[in-house]
Structure 1
């Protein structure tokens, strides 16, 4: 049993270092996202919804392209506008599919940091407890050098696991808040477009 647990120490530390690297990379990605996409990007959704009213597809698309919406928002709305001639039921199904695709895209992004936030403390605890066994044996034999090395490894593993988990948790929380607002705005704009297309269809039928 002791041999098995001792053999898990190196893999646990290696994975801990990998998780720490992932959390640092994700933090860097978050900063890039702030500087390149989210900085000075503010869209008044009610004003944009009001702009849609009474406009044709070309005018709506031009308004979307010139707005402060994010690139993925513009692409999703553009796809919906491009198929605006579909029957109402099919258009609603397309809108749901586009929105679900966006939700899945951002869930994949936050799942990475969620995984690090969960695994970091567990692996940190594992890499903390494993060296304590040899350390306690060394203490009983009066080998303070081995005891000190074991404790140092244990403390380093704890700090590494908590640091990786803390950074990943903060990144996940911030991104989830952003993405929830993003998806809420996208859903409101899609519903507005569906209403505009339905109104145009009723006018044409009269």
Structure 2
């Protein structure tokens, strides 16, 4: 029994370094996500205000003819242009709606991954050094215990920050996708009714 316990102890301790490496990787990924999120926010603010203002003023064809120039960051503009290019093909317009949903789900998947994996890695980084910390406490090695507790709390904080970034970006991106789907469905339904 002691052999099995020692094997589990060594195995769990061996997972600490990979856990910390993954935490650092996902922390950098979360920081990059914030940068991309901010860029998308700025682009959306300019484009979507104009789109929402124009969509109710004119017919759908006129609306599609007056689409603002995009810099490639707006998936909404990309799919509106694709829908405009298929004016007589109802099936293709419906497929484009489905394609947008798939692309949006892929984009949301990045944030969902951070929401789930950040706290999970943080918890692993908390529990793994607790074993050596308790051993240090039992043997009177306060220095070892303090070091392991420091690692435990640091990994917890980093994991929670990763999860928080993922959660905040996920909430906002879900609203963006709902707004974009509303516009795309309106355009597709309006074009379908005219056939």
* TM-score bracket relative to the smaller structure: 0.7 to 0.9
Task: Tell me the C-alpha RMSD between the 2 structures.
Answer: 2.4
Structure 1 gaps, min length 5? 86-90, 199-206
Aligned twin of 1:164: 162
- TM-score of the pair, normalised by structure 2: 0.85
The yes-or-no answer on 1:20 pairing with 2:23 is: no
CA contact (8 A) 1:49 1:192 kept: no
What is the CA–CA distance in structure 1 between the aligned matches of 2:35 and 2:108, rounded to whole Å? 14
Partner of residue 73, structure 1: 76
**Which residue of structure 1 lines up, in the alignment, with residue 139 of structure 2?**
141
CA distance in 1, matches of 2:94, 2:174: 20
Q: CA deviation at 1:46?
A: 8.6
How do residues 22-41 of structure 1 correspond to structure 2 at under 5 angstroms? 22-39=29-46, 41=48
Aligned residues: 186
2:181 maps to 183
Structure-2 separation of matches of 1:43 and 1:186: 15
Q: String of CA shifts for 1:101-149, please: whole Å, max 9, x gaps.
A: 1111121111011111101111111111111111111111111000000
| Residue in structure 1 matched with residue 59 of structure 2 by the alignment | 52
Deviation at 1:194, TM superposition (A): 1.8
Shift in CA distance, 64/146, structure 1 to aligned 2, threshold 3 Å: same
C-alpha distance 158-72 of structure 1, shift in aligned 2 (>3 A): closer
Q: Which protein has greater RCO, CA pairs closer than 8 Å, 6+ apart? A: 1
Structure 2 partner of 1:103: 101
1:169-193: CA deviations, max 9, x gaps? Answer: 1011111111111111111111112
Structure 1 or 2, whichever has the larger Rg, is 1
* Separation in structure 2 between the aligned mates of residue 71 and residue 165 of structure 1, nearest angstrom: 26
Q: CA, structure 1 residues 155+60, in 2 after alignment: closer, same or farther (shift >3 Å)?
A: closer
Question: Runs (4+) of structure 1 moved beyond 4 Å?
Answer: 43-47
- Determine the C-alpha separation between the residues in 1 that align with 2:132 and 2:165: 31
More displaced 10-residue stretch of structure 1: 1-10 or 91-100? 91-100
